[in-house]
């Protein structure tokens, strides 16, 4: 999945439409988590520093094609302005005379942010006329919004079909890291899959079982697997209509000699609310009127033992009811353990909102190999499905050995010329080219 990137085109003086994923949480008109904004900074900085005229476009929330003041992008523009150290104007609408004029006034190395694309119902419908109006703003298209790449919307697919389309640096890294997981992982390869439902991750489990050596199951979905093993789960969240599928997955794992870990002890609560009574008990003894809300210490010990020699780990989904602090211990504990594994050289890739939240809340993000910005997109990619917003980007041409050699010579010559112009040694230039 080798796509052309912004490095492969001369952007100087060009108007560049950049689809970013600034769908960030807001509270009292302020951005509470700017990680998605920061993830797009390398691409934005590269374009600005190379003289592009940058038109940023994003959605925020689910306004269903109607203007909602609480979902305007001004707070996002303010946070982006703080990060970049320069003013980022935001238009009053994604379309209209005012936006057209603002785009026309852009000079080299300047940027603006279009208002929430989803204020127009045509965005999610991939309406051709809407896509054409957006495409008319620019000469080049860049997609750096991996989190929306599984959606065939006007700004992710429609515009990309009308302009030369390239991947941004975040998109490039997401594709490289997730493709490596499924194509060439260092072994042993372990996956931790949590979250609420088996049904939403069944295809991912099937694909992972073709690749992994260890599969750890947690969260609400583990309850369905406990049922498949003949255990009772009280009033816990479970998908009774998926029990046969869970049995099939367990049988497939046994056939492929994949070690599967399910909870051996769990935290149960009288109610799934703050302040309720809770306790830790063996997984075989769930009271009929209680709810499983987290994994216990014995389960965490087993997980850590199973992951101790893993050279590659993929984690998606919490191990308990993470949004309630009393039931977030398992998720937060495995986040700390995986950070330690990454510190020792293991490749640890994380995707999924609550998994990422557990990492960020504890200040662990910098220690992980890669934190994916796309929950649904990353799962669909791991399922082996094509992502519309990726497919539409230009493929990198497959070069013959002779063409590769010629390209390397050109790169070395260019680096040498640049080094000489800057007063550096040719040897240093050669290293830079490589």
38 in catalytic set: no
Return the closest-CA partner of residue 40 out of 11, 92, 76, 91: 76
376 is catalytic: yes
> Within a 13 Å sphere around the CA of 315, how many CA atoms are in the beta-carbon half?
34
Which is the catalytic residue, given 51, 61, 353, 430?
353
Contact by Cβ (8 Å): 143, 156: yes
- Cβ atoms within 10 Å of 126's Cβ, excluding its own: 19
Pairing of strands 265-269, 278-282: antiparallel
Helices 297-307 + 329-343 axis angle, to 10: 20
353 is catalytic: yes
Helices (H), 153-240: 169-183, 202-208, 219-228
For residue 36, indicate whether it is catalytic: yes
Q: How many helices (H) and strands (E) does the chain have?
A: 17, 16
Q: One of 14, 36, 79, 211 is an active-site residue; which one?
A: 36
Which is the catalytic residue, given 125, 197, 235, 336? 197
Q: Which of 61, 234, 376, 430 is catalytic?
A: 376
What contacts 27, CB < 8 A, 6 or more positions away? none
By the 10 Å C-beta count (0-12 exposed, 13-18 middle, 19+ buried), 404 is classed as exposed
Residues carrying an active site annotation: 36, 197, 353, 376
């Amino acid at each position: 999945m080798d796509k052309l990137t912004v490095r492969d085109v001369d952007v100087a003086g060009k108007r560049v439409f950049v689809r970013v994923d600034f769908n960030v949480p807001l509270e009292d008109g302020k951005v509470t988590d700017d990680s998605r904004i920061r993830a797009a900074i390398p691409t934005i900085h590269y374009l600005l520093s190379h003289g592009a005229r940058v038109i940023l476009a994003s959605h925020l929330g689910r306004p269903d094609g109607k203007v909602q003041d609480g979902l305007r992008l001004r707070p996002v523009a303010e946070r982006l302005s703080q990060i970049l150290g320069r003013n980022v104007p935001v238009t009053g609408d994604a379309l209209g005379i005012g936006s057209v004029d603002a785009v026309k006034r852009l000079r080299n190395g300047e940027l603006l942010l279009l208002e929430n694309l989803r204020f127009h119902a045509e965005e999610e419908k991939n309406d051709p006329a809407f896509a054409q109006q957006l495409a008319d703003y620019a000469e080049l298209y860049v997609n750096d919004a991996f989190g929306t790449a599984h959606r065939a919307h006007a700004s992710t697919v429609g515009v990309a079909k009308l302009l030369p389309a390239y991947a941004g640096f975040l998109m490039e890294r997401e594709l490289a890291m997730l493709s490596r997981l499924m194509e060439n992982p260092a072994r042993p390869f372990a996956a931790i899959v949590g979250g609420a439902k088996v049904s939403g991750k069944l295809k991912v489990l099937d694909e992972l079982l073709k690749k992994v050596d260890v599969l750890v199951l947690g969260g609400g979905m583990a309850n369905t697997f406990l049922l498949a093993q003949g255990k009772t789960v009280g009033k816990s969240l479970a998908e009774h209509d998926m029990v046969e599928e869970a049995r099939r997955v367990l049988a497939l794992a046994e056939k492929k000699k994949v070690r599967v870990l399910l909870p051996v002890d769990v935290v149960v609560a009288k109610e799934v609310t703050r302040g309720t009574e809770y306790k830790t008990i063996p997984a075989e003894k769930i009271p009929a009127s209680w709810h499983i809300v987290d994994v216990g210490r014995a389960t965490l010990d087993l997980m850590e033992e199973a992951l101790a020699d893993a050279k590659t780990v993929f984690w998606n989904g919490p191990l308990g009811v993470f949004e309630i602090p009393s039931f977030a211990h398992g998720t937060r504990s495995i986040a700390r353990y995986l950070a330690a594994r990454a510190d020792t050289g293991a490749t640890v890739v994380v995707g999924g909102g609550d998994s990422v939240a557990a990492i960020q809340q504890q200040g662990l993000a910098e220690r992980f190999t890669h934190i994916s910005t796309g929950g649904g997109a990353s799962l669909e990619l791991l399922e082996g499905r094509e992502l519309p917003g990726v497919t539409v980007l230009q493929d990198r041409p497959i070069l013959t050995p002779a063409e590769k050699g010629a390209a390397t010579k050109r790169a070395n010559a260019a680096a040498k010329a640049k080094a000489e112009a800057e007063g550096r040694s040719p040897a240093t230039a050669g290293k830079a080219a490589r």
